[in-house]
Amino acid sequence: MCDHPAHRLPHDVRGVDVVGQVDGLRDPAERLVWRAGRPRDRYVLDLWIHHVLLCANGWSGTSRMVARGHDVLFRPVPHDAADTMLSDLVLLWEVGQALPLLFFPEPSREWAEAVAEGVQDPDLRRWPPRSYDCPRLPLLLGSRNPFAPWFDPRGLVPSPALTAPALADRIWGQALRFLVLDLGGTD
């Protein structure tokens, strides 16, 4: 089984040139990504962002990640919706170039899943998360949980739209709407 050549994607979003290539396109209807280990949420997000970029360029296929005992699948995103999502992701990237965003892949996904299931004020007691892999973050937050209802983001974020729960909803909330299959969960 051989992948097709990488797909080059020039795309202008909000005046930002998004250029590069996307590997793993097996045929016009499927992108397949392999991981040797378990798919951490940051890898699922990578799959999602590339999927949105492809769909914003008119592609209408699925994106699948196969990893050790896990399978993740995103269904096609309509072009207009993908273009809007990509614009929002680029906006967040631009903001993130100027200040740290309170976005953490694992607890953000946990929050967004709980909200999608109708849980009011999901309780994320596990802070920092097990996959805490940013050694500089304690300098910013210490042991304060940015998802806790009592967390005061003043001085950290310039807008309520950039709090940890709001970012979780903006990023994972969209991805979860198109996530068809996630067998095995992520660690």
Asked which of 21-25, 55-59, 171-175 is least confident by mean pLDDT, the reply is: 21-25
- pLDDT greater than 70 at residue 185: no
Q: How far is CA 50 from the centre of its chain?
A: 10
Residue ranges per domain, the chain?
A: 7-183
Show contacts of 163-167: CB within 8 Å, 24+ apart: 163/102, 164/102, 164/103, 164/104, 164/107, 164/108, 164/111, 165/111, 165/115, 167/92, 167/101, 167/102, 167/103, 167/108
Provide the mean pLDDT of the chain.
Answer: 81
d(CA 10, CA 31): 18
Average pLDDT of the segment spanning 73-82:
95
Q: What is the pLDDT of residues 86-112, one digit of tens each?
A: 999 999 998 888 888 888 888 888 888
- pLDDT greater than 80 at residue 155: no
The pLDDT of residue 129 is 57
Which of 149 and 62 is assigned the larger pLDDT?
62
Q: How many CB atoms lie within 10 A of CB 108?
A: 26
d(CA 77, CA 67): 23
d(CA 113, CA 171): 12
- pLDDT greater than 70 at residue 2: no
The pLDDT of residue 136 is 60
The pLDDT of residue 186 is 45
Average pLDDT of the segment spanning 35-42:
86
Can you state the percent helix, strand and coil of the chain, rounding each to 5?
40, 20, 45
- pLDDT greater than 70 at residue 50: yes
The pLDDT of residue 171 is 94
The pLDDT of residue 154 is 75
The pLDDT of residue 13 is 77
d(CA 39, CA 69): 9
